[in-house]
Amino acid sequence: MPVLLLSRAIAERHSEALAALRDASPGDPLEVLQLPDEADRRLDEVSLAQIQAGYFSTDMTGADGAGERALSRKFLGSIRRAPNVRWLHLGHAGTDDPIFQELMGRGVAVSNSSGVTAEPIALSVIGGLLALHRGFPRWYDAQRHRAWEQLPRNEAPPDLRGQTIVVVGLGAIGGHIARLSQALGLYVIGVRRREATAGDHVDRWVHPGQLKDVLPAANWLALTVPLTAATRHLIDRESLALLPEGAHILNVARGAVIDEAAMIEELRSRRLGGAYLDVFETEPLPPESPIWDLPNVIVSPHDSSPSAGNPGRADAVFLEELGRWLRGEPLQRLVQER
């Protein structure tokens, strides 16, 4: 019978849904194996050999302390040592972690919950965009120093309406960014392989091969693509030089999508107007990184996604995929690109 590895919290929270799927399964009944909560308890070799599937849920992937991180390590270690595992579902989108790459290399089907955090992330991006455009970092600094410092009127920012944002990646996150950007009056250029449609909320679509052609028009550059061999340093020194003076970067993709050292140079020189950065080439961002001290940069610690509804949305995606897996149907959220 198929054995599914879950955290205790997920097994208890969705016991009725799991029972319904078990009863409706045409093959052998599903058996749920709960990951031990106790720090000193590990699954034995017999249990590991029985595991065929697992759900790396959001209760194991947050930032709530050492206990949660230990649970995450225990779960992934168990999946890694399970010789017969065939499918792993992730409660998040990213699959660039080496362990997921290793599992895919072993032939394990890996599916994800791409899209469940898309709107909160997009709201963080738009929040960063508005904060940079309206000068919030300057106001925050003045507030800390109890200084009443109004912006000289000859330094007023240009109108946001009519500016151009280039959104690299029109998946769930990029789609929300495009929609919200249009609502603010921005001209939206979307970049992805597949041609955009009217429902994508872009004013112009270009293929990734044409990215450098549109960078000179980008007042704002939003990066939302996954990290792959093709997107590593997609925004390199040459690409940064193509951006117009005063342009801003909004990165919620992965830190390595951009040449971080070259970006720092451009921000230090003020040729680039600023950046909202949620991701970095090294995480956590080292205390000695110059990014911390750049006055035109807003930093969030890979934390743009939290929203109370995320876990429920991720679990719903998992349960849908579990039903397909039990029925022998193709997974709809299967990760194809390594």
DSSP letters, 79-103, are: HHH-TT--EEEESSS---SHHHHHH
CB 130 within 8 A of CB 107: no
Other beta carbons within 10 Å of 161: 9
The whole-angstrom separation of Cα 36 and Cα 306 is: 26
Catalytic residue among 22, 133, 248, 302: 302
- DSSP-derived 3-state class of residue 231: coil
Q: What angle do CA 170, 173, 179 make, to 5 degrees?
A: 75
Catalytic residue among 254, 268, 270, 338: 254
CA 277, chain centre distance (Å): 12
The whole-angstrom separation of Cα 181 and Cα 203 is: 11
Cβ partners under 8 Å of residue 28, min gap 6:
1, 2
Give yes or no: 22 in active site.
Answer: no
Give yes or no: 302 in active site.
Answer: yes
Active-site amino acid positions: 254, 302
